[in-house]
Amino acid sequence: MNNQRATHFRTYFQMDAADASALAGAIGLMNLFARSLGGITSDILFKYVGFRGRIWAQFLALFFEAVFLFCMVDSSQPWYVALAVLICFSLFVQMAEGTTV
């Protein structure tokens, strides 16, 4: 997913390579905090609810990942709307990875 973002922006939104690469790189930087956010959420829910809390944390991360993935199907939206949806999608993808650790 991470290595195709710049190509996606260039193909579907006719952006030049420098702008598409900068946007793709900025989204890739979410790895620094989003995985930790998923792990912290999972740990907090485990503290209060037990193992079901971890399951709920992963379910919610995967659920919202799917919601934003369905929002990305509409390619008629402007690039900044697609970018906002992609950022939300990426956030929940990384959070879901953090809930499994």
Whether 88 has a pLDDT exceeding 80, the answer reads yes
The DSSP call for residue 50 is -
Alpha-carbon span 28 to 77, nearest angstrom: 22
For the whole model, what pTM was predicted?
A: 0.77
Q: Among 19, 14, 27, which Cα is nearest to 83's?
A: 27
Output the pLDDT for position 65. 93
Mean pLDDT in the chain?
Answer: 86
What are the angstrom distances between the C-alpha of 1 and each of 31, 42, 55, 95, 99? 13, 24, 25, 15, 19
Across 18-35, average pLDDT:
82
For the chain, the structural domain boundaries read: 2-99
Alpha-carbon span 69 to 61, nearest angstrom: 12
Across 82-86, average pLDDT:
83
Across 12-31, average pLDDT:
82
Output the pLDDT for position 50. 93
